[in-house]
Structure 1
Amino acid sequence: MRNEETKFDFRPVGLAIKEARLNKGLTREQVGSIIQIAPRYLTNIENKGQQPSLQVLYDLVTLLNISLDSYFFTESKTSKSSKRRQVEAQLDQLNDAQLEIIQDIIKAIFERTNE
């Protein structure tokens, strides 16, 4: 039987959804239109931790490239974070010349942190 201690707190996931939406430059109205939910429903998910239906959760994490592994499997570090998935999705949109620039930036970061 479930008790209050084992009840899943959805607020951190809601905040991750909000952050990912903002990072993609999408409004609640745009996301609502894309996945066919009311913007107010999305507001409650993001700010109040309202638990969405499984279909809405799937639509949100798919649209926004969010990984839920770290929220469900807190002890596991083998999965990719939402931030990593979002960056990888952005990298997929770059051409080779742009990727070379990113590669140089990453190299410079490593050189600076190893000083």
Structure 2
Amino acid sequence: MAKRPVEKYDFKAFGQAIKNARKERKESRKKVSDEMYISPRYLANIENNGQHPSLQIFFELMLRYHISVDQFLLDTQPEKDTKRRQLDALLDDMSDTGIRIVTATAKEIAEVENEN
């Protein structure tokens, strides 16, 4: 039986999102590779060349960096994009005092944006 022709999904945007999130957290490729039991070259190929990761590695990277898979795989607008998921993760670890500061800052930003 002949193989059916299937266009491969381009993982370059996902790889770039992983790379950006890793650098934002100031994590080296070596550190991440060691913690995930993968080679640094494999991670570099995912980040730079859009190599297709295994489903398990794809899942672990999404969870590690709070990446929204919706924005890469679905044609619809995600409920929460990657930046919002990453902000939620930061807020989850914040004290009540930190939450009050962030809330006050967000209110001020909203006021300034509404003036414009």
Using the size of structure 1 for normalisation, the TM-score is 0.91
Structure 1: which 5+ runs fail to align?
A: none
How many percent of aligned residue pairs carry the same amino acid?
40
CA RMSD of aligned residues (A): 1.2
In the TM superposition, what whole-angstrom CA distance separates every residue of 1:23-70 from its partner, at most 9, and x where no partner exists? 222111111011110111101100011111111111111111111111
Structure 1: how far apart are the matches of 2:78 and 2:38? Answer: 33
Return the letter of the residue paired with 1:67. Answer: S
- List structure 1 runs of 4+ shifted beyond 6 angstroms: none
Aligned length: 112
Using the size of structure 2 for normalisation, the TM-score is 0.90
Structure 2: which 5+ runs fail to align?
A: none
Listed as ranges, the matches of 1:34-113 within 5 Å are 34-74=35-75, 76-113=76-113
State whether residues 30 and 40 of structure 2, in contact with CA within 8 Å, keep that contact through their aligned partners in structure 1. yes
Question: Could you say what secondary structure the match of 1:25 adopts?
Answer: coil
In the TM superposition, what whole-angstrom CA distance separates every residue of 1:61-108 from its partner, at most 9, and x where no partner exists? 11111111111112x124211111111000111100111100011001
TM-aligned CA deviation for residue 2 of structure 1: 3.6
